[in-house]
Amino acid sequence: MMFKAIEKTIIIGIGGGSGSGKTTLLRRLGEVFGNQEPAIFSMDNYYNPIDAQQKDSKGIVNFDLPSALNEEQLTKDLISLSKGNSIEVKEYYFNSNPNKNVLLTIQPSRIIIVEGLFLFHYAGVKQLLDYTIFVDVEQETQLDRRIYRDQETRGYSRSAIIYQWENHALPCYENYIYPYKNKADFIFRNDHRADEDFQELMKSIQLALSNIATP
């Protein structure tokens, strides 16, 4: 599907729970808009250092809180990018030394695609969004994906993953993510209906862009 050139900056936001498939959808949209070289903005790159993270009652770091990210810098950078400025941010890798992370330069574009857990919860970010997507999938599927990811790339035990899921991820979803589900412009069902929903999403985005792309 081809989209005509955008005449003003449009910001598309992708939100949803951990393991819902936000990053996968981000990549698919990036491919669709590839000829317009969209700016890809991942909120994961703004996690605070581990020594600045809050811990739960058992002394385990909780990364599933709004305070886990540098909301102020994140919002500031997104505003700057939306105004046509390039920004620099260190690419986040779990458990890596922040001083060794790769420094990314994100170039401005007429299309900016943002994804992250707290996309809707951060008021400063939410008010910048022109079109919003909530990625929805069954919690069992989210947990399966989280188990696979955290065992393969983070070296967590299954019991540790289940603990974090029950005590961190689920409360995060219930308090900071799910309440915004029905306020999104499009609910993307990332299950056996994903391909069908993607086609509908493209139609919805095209319609939205035709209404807001011209000043």
- Asked if residue 214 has pLDDT above 70, the reply is no
Domain ranges of the chain: 10-200
Name the CATH superfamily for 10-200: P-loop containing nucleotide triphosphate hydrolases (3.40.50.300)
Q: Can you give the length of the chain in residues?
A: 215
Q: Where does the pLDDT of residue 146 fall: very low under 50, low under 70, confident under 90, or very high at 90 and above?
A: confident
- Asked if residue 98 has pLDDT above 70, the reply is no
- Asked if residue 174 has pLDDT above 60, the reply is yes
Q: What is the predicted pLDDT for the residue at 211?
A: 77
Pure H helices in the chain: 22-32, 71-82, 123-126, 139-153, 158-164, 170-172, 194-212
- Asked if residue 206 has pLDDT above 60, the reply is yes
The mean of the pLDDT values for the chain is 89
Segment 123-133 mean pLDDT: 96
Q: What long-range pairs does 156-163 form, CB within 8 A, spacing at least 24?
A: 163/60
Q: Where does the pLDDT of residue 209 fall: very low under 50, low under 70, confident under 90, or very high at 90 and above?
A: confident
pLDDT in tens, 19-34: 899 999 999 999 998 8
Region of residue 77 (left: phi > 0; alpha: psi -120 to 50; beta: else):
alpha
Q: What is the predicted pLDDT for the residue at 195?
A: 95
Q: What percent of the chain has pLDDT over 90?
A: 70
pLDDT in tens, 70-93: 999 999 999 999 999 999 998 876
- Asked if residue 61 has pLDDT above 90, the reply is yes
- Asked if residue 35 has pLDDT above 90, the reply is no
- Asked if residue 2 has pLDDT above 80, the reply is no
Q: What is the predicted pLDDT for the residue at 93?
A: 65
Output DSSP code: residue 91: P
Segment 120-149 mean pLDDT: 93
d(CA 30, CA 53): 31
